[in-house]
Structure 1
């Protein structure tokens, strides 16, 4: 499970808006002072991101919570976003080449990119329709000063 800590910003019944900060991993690299990617990462500040989630327990504004995404869900989402458009591009080019062998390369490239763009559009529409709720992070528990309260209500040691 990949975990992140966030802060509850808005509570609307069972729905909460949780703010997390997107962080770059360049700060932990030993070569960050001599790396061009690190310079670019430093130019873009860490920006907060709001997530709308269903709250299993009653949470209050300002409370810190621990969020988690199972690795299997992350891998499936990555496969959809990276592999599906690539297969759409290859399939469209091969299909056009087999149906019209005399077609110019520019048409093959254009159709390939159009198929790839359509796959991105279809994935976006699927996400916006809310059919992929299982790709959303889940609230693992509330992080308090002395304890962490999980769903099973077993107090654990403070997270560092």
Structure 2
């Protein structure tokens, strides 16, 4: 299981919307800047600020919690999200090129690629609706958590 700390923003029935707490560099990746994925996320901004998770412990708004996601589910989702569009794009391009006559092969390859890529989004949307059972879940309510403060920088040396 992959665990992350979060704060509950709101609750809706058996689900809660949480905001993942930012963490400071741990030094395992790079002693000065820490985890590169956190740096990249901060560079491009976070597209989604809060996430829907299962709330079996009935956490309330403003509670700090631990959210768990299964590694296998995460890996499977990544394979589907990256692999399927790529495979269908290439398959569409090859099929489009194969069925066309020589003067129009590039056009048909392009149309096949666009069609394959579009079909992948439809399949992924349908799969997303079917995969609600593997949603992240709150596994612990954390007591007496103090909100993170920004670290002081050591600029005057």
Matched, 1:20 2:20: yes
Matched, 1:141 2:140: yes
CA distance 1:24–1:113, shift in 2 (3 Å): farther
Aligned to 1:8: 8
Shift of 1:6: 0.7
Gaps in structure 1 of 5+ consecutive residues: 33-37, 147-160
**3-state SS of the aligned residue for 2:7?**
strand
Cα distance in 2, alignment partners of residues 123 and 57 from structure 1: 30
CA contact (8 A) 1:77 1:135 kept: no
Aligned length: 138
Aligned to 2:149: none
RMSD between aligned residues: 3.2
CA distance 1:122–1:21, shift in 2 (3 Å): farther
CA distance 1:143–1:85, shift in 2 (3 Å): same
Aligned to 2:67: 67
CA contact (8 A) 2:54 2:135 kept: no
Aligned to 1:149: none
Cα distance in 2, alignment partners of residues 94 and 140 from structure 1: 47
The aligned runs of 1:5-154 (5 Å cut-off) are 5-21=5-21, 29=30, 43-45=43-45, 49-102=49-102, 103-127=104-128, 130-145=129-144
CA contact (8 A) 2:57 2:139 kept: no
**3-state SS of the aligned residue for 2:141?**
strand
CA contact (8 A) 1:22 1:49 kept: no
Gaps in structure 2 of 5+ consecutive residues: 34-38, 146-157
Q: Which has the higher strand share?
A: 1
CA contact (8 A) 2:96 2:110 kept: no
